[in-house]
Amino acid sequence: MSFKQRLSELDPELIALRRDLHAHPELGFKEFRTQAKVLGGLEALQIPARAMADTGVLGLLQGSRPGRTILLRADMDALPVHEENDLPYRSTTDGVMHACGHDGHTAMLLAAAKVLAEHRDRIAGSIKFVFQPNEEDAGAGRMVAEGVPEDPAVDAAFGLHLWNSLPTGTIDLKPGPIMAASHYFTLTIRGRGGHAGFAHQSIDPILTAAQVIQAVQAIQTREVDALDPAVIMFTALRAGSNNTIVPETVTLGGSIRFLYEGGDEIRNRFERIVEHTCKAHRADYELTFAVGNDLLANDENITRLARESAAAVLGDSHSVTAMVKTMAGEDFAAFADAVPAAFAFVGARDPAGEIPYPHHHPRFTFDEKALLIGAELYVRTALGFLGCGE
């Protein structure tokens, strides 16, 4: 029986699991029910598994012969979004929703694990099944720090994302940078408070903040090559309590994103402008950065193998595209920093249906026909890397 036929038999089970996970979403590092589901599923397949990174899961399928090791990853966390879909399996938790497809990723990888476990006698090498918590806030780094790439050492990693910008029946993979690095900043500008009628006796942090917001935009247009994508966004501003009072401080928050190798220097340019703008206005500042995730760049060789697997899944190489590059971040980058890796976008928009709502929207959903495609892509990529044909 072919992989496609076997997965087709599992389709009702795959959809039921996805819907169960969708109805019971859990935020990052709170995926206790999901973790128990995954551990139970792997145990039933006789795949040794253990909890790690608080609510994550690592399973290890060892083949009948020695060989290389590939890591397959799915993320499990939901978002703090209140679902507005009228579905029989809508979220049962107020204010929490699977609005990004992670419920589908977890279900697909468990289905893939079932098919791969049924072929363990023909596998040379090992497959690590990584069910990762808290993708929305860089949980992959925790799993790397706790040793996921070791014992046995991982030779390659593969991950995927259901993608509503692409129609069902397509898969997108390309080498090089595909998802942006995201660095989050918090900037506090400190002036001198006072009466709004005597502005000359104060140092206005709001005016200083406005100048900073304007000035740093020049980094994108004057200090970064126009062919290198970079975005500086201010997304939060907190200041003041009264219409007659000049506040002491303003706190700004936002992100710096870049989609090219070596974009870290933007942080230095950002602080240079902040420092000199504040000095010009006689204000002080405090600036901190936190890395949300690094640049995600696909390895050329692993990408080539995954594209071959994608063509086999779809039965048509023309449906395997190389178009998607996005300023959104993806913490699979932590695995790609550790080992050669590839990350795919699996089309999940029903071509005959309505235009879907975007990821992270309260009415987000996806075409469940994409689940079989993603599950088979996991299977074929793993066996292709380990040198095991169908």
DSSP codes, 194-243: EEGGGGGGSB-HHHHHHHHHHHHHHIIIIIS-TTS-EEEEEEEEEE-S-T
Q: What is the pLDDT of residue 10?
A: 96
Report the catalytic residues: 77, 135
90-109 pLDDT, tens digit per residue, is 999 999 999 999 999 999 99
**Mean pLDDT to the nearest integer, 265-280:** 98
Confidence category of residue 364, pLDDT binned at 50, 70, 90: very high
Given a cut of 80, is residue 148 above it in pLDDT? yes
Q: Report whether 318 belongs to an annotated binding site.
A: no
pLDDT bracket for residue 388 (50, 70, 90): confident
How much is the average pLDDT of 288-293?
94
Q: What does the pLDDT average to over 34-60?
A: 98
102 is in an annotated binding site: yes
Residue 161 is labelled as binding a ligand: yes
The burial of 269, by beta-carbon neighbours within 10 Å (0-12 exposed, 13-18 middle, 19 or more buried), is given as middle
Rounded Cα distance between 26 and 81, Å, is 11
Mean pLDDT of 16-38: 98
Q: What is the mean pLDDT of the chain?
A: 96
**Would you state the pLDDT for residue 355?**
80
**Residue 218's pLDDT band (cuts 50, 70, 90):** very high
pLDDT mean over 241-248? 96
Q: Does 82 appear as a known binding residue?
A: no
Helices and strands counted in the chain (H then E): 9, 16
Which tens digits make up the pLDDT trace of 58-74?
A: 999 999 999 999 999 99
Q: What pLDDT, on a 0 to 100 scale, did the predictor assign at position 349?
A: 96
Q: 3-177+295-386: which CATH architecture?
A: 3-Layer(aba) Sandwich (3.40)
Q: Would you say residue 261 has pLDDT above 90?
A: yes
Global pTM reads 0.94
**What pLDDT does 3 receive?**
84
Whether 25 and 87 have beta carbons less than 8 Å apart is answered as: no
Side-by-side strand order, sheet with 181-190: 230-239, 249-258, 181-190, 284-293
Look at residue 137 and tell me whether its pLDDT is greater than 90. no
Measured on CA atoms in the order 270, 276, 281, 287, is the torsion positive or negative?
Answer: positive
138 versus 166: the higher-pLDDT residue is 166
Give me the residue spans of the domains in the chain.
3-177+295-386, 181-293
Residue 271 marked ligand-binding: no
Question: Is pLDDT above 80 for 250?
Answer: yes
The CATH architecture one would assign to domain 181-293 is 2-Layer Sandwich (3.30)
Amino acid identity of 198? F
Chain length of the chain:
390
- In three-state secondary structure terms, 5 is helix
Q: What does the pLDDT average to over 118-143?
A: 95
Mean pLDDT of 354-382: 96
Predicted confidence (pLDDT) per residue in 315-353, tens digit = 999 999 999 999 999 999 999 999 999 999 999 999 888
C-alpha dist (Å) from residue 373 to 181, 213, 315: 28, 44, 11
